[in-house]
Amino acid sequence: MKFYMTPGSCSTGIHILLEELELVFEVYLVNLIAGDQLKPENLAVNPKATIPTLVRDDGSAVTEFQAIAWWLARTYPKAKLLPDDAEGEVRVIETLNYVVGTIHGQGYTRIFTTENYSADASQHEAIKTRGRNIVSKGLALMDAQLAGKEYVVGRFSIADAALFYVEFWADKIKLALPPNCLTHYQRMLQRPAVRRVLMEEGYRI
C-alpha cells in the first residue's frame, strides 16, 4: 500500500493505526505548506488535494480520516480496532466524526489556517481565539467521555488514534489538556507504535 501523509498532521493518526497493525506500506510525504497536494501527480491520486490518502493493493485510493480508519479496522478484524457490538462501534464513529469534523475541522483550522477565514488581518486574533474556544470545549467533552476509562470505548480503537492527534496538537500549541485527556495522551505516548511513529515523523518522545 501507499500512504500519503504530512508529518505532525491528522495523518499521524492513520500512521499510528498502520503501525499498530504492523502493515507494510510505502510513505509519500506531502508538504502542504509548499502546496504539494496541488501537484498533478498528487491530484491524480486524490483530487480532493487532502491528506491522508491510502492507496490499497488493488490501486484504489481511500481518502478522509474516518473512512481510512474504519476500512483498516474492518479489513484487519483480529486487531480489534473496533468494538464487536453495535453500541461500541457507534460510539467510535461518533467520536471520530466529532474529533475530525469539529475539534479539528472547526477549531484547529481557525488556529492553523486563520487566513482562510478572513483576508483581514485585524480579524485574525479573534478567529484564533474562537478556534481555541472550540478546541477547548471539544476536549472538555472528550474528557467527560474518558472518565473512568483508559481509552475512548474502554480498549484501544481507531477513535483513540483520532483523539491522540488533536491532543498532540494541543500539547504543541501549549493548550492545557483536561485531566482525563492528559492521562489518555500520556498513555498513548507509551504505546510502542505511537513512539515509533513520532520518531519516524521527526518528533522527540
- Counting every residue written for the chain, the total comes to 205
Q: Rounded mean pLDDT of 131-157?
A: 97
Residue 9 has pLDDT above 90, yes or no: yes
Point out the domain boundary residue: 51, 79, 107: 79
Residue 8 has pLDDT above 80, yes or no: yes
Whether residue 114 is found in the same domain as residue 166: yes
Mean pLDDT taken over the chain: 97
Give burial (CB, 10 Å; 0-12/13-18/19+) of 166: buried
Cα separation, 88 vs 33, in Å, equals 37
Whether residue 28 is found in the same domain as residue 64: yes
Q: Which of 166, 160, 92, 163 is nearest to 131 (CA)?
A: 166
Report the CATH number that the domain containing residue 54 is assigned in CATH.
Answer: 3.40.30.10
Q: How does residue 205 score in pLDDT terms, banded at 50, 70 and 90? A: confident
Residue 21 has pLDDT above 90, yes or no: yes
Cα separation, 189 vs 205, in Å, equals 8
Indicate the angle between helix axes 158-172 and 86-98, nearest 10 degrees. Answer: 30
Cα separation, 136 vs 35, in Å, equals 29
Q: Rounded mean pLDDT of 124-134?
A: 98
Point out the domain boundary residue: 63, 79, 95: 79
Q: Rounded mean pLDDT of 13-38?
A: 96
Q: Rounded mean pLDDT of 27-46?
A: 94
- Is residue 204 in a domain? no
Domain that holds residue 29: 2-79
Whether residue 125 is found in the same domain as residue 59: no
- Cell, residue 48: 480532493
Point out the domain boundary residue: 64, 79, 94: 79
Number of domains the chain contains: 2
Q: How does residue 204 score in pLDDT terms, banded at 50, 70 and 90? A: confident
Q: Rounded mean pLDDT of 46-69?
A: 97
Q: How does residue 12 score in pLDDT terms, banded at 50, 70 and 90? A: very high
Q: State the DSSP string of 160-189.
A: HHHHHHHHHHHHHTTPPPPHHHHHHHHHHH
Report the CATH number that the domain containing residue 156 is assigned in CATH.
Answer: 1.20.1050.10
Whether residue 103 is found in the same domain as residue 176: yes
Q: Which of 161, 106, 156, 165 is nearest to 131 (CA)?
A: 106
Q: How does residue 81 score in pLDDT terms, banded at 50, 70 and 90? A: very high
Percent of the chain as helix, strand, coil, to the nearest 5: 60, 5, 35
Q: How does residue 141 score in pLDDT terms, banded at 50, 70 and 90? A: very high
Residue 18 has pLDDT above 90, yes or no: yes
- Is residue 200 in a domain? no
Whether residue 10 is found in the same domain as residue 94: no
Q: Hey, which residues does 4 pair with through a beta bridge?
A: 28, 53
Percent of the chain whose pLDDT exceeds 70: 100
Tell me the pLDDT tens digit for each residue of 98-107.
999 999 999 9
Entry pTM: 0.95
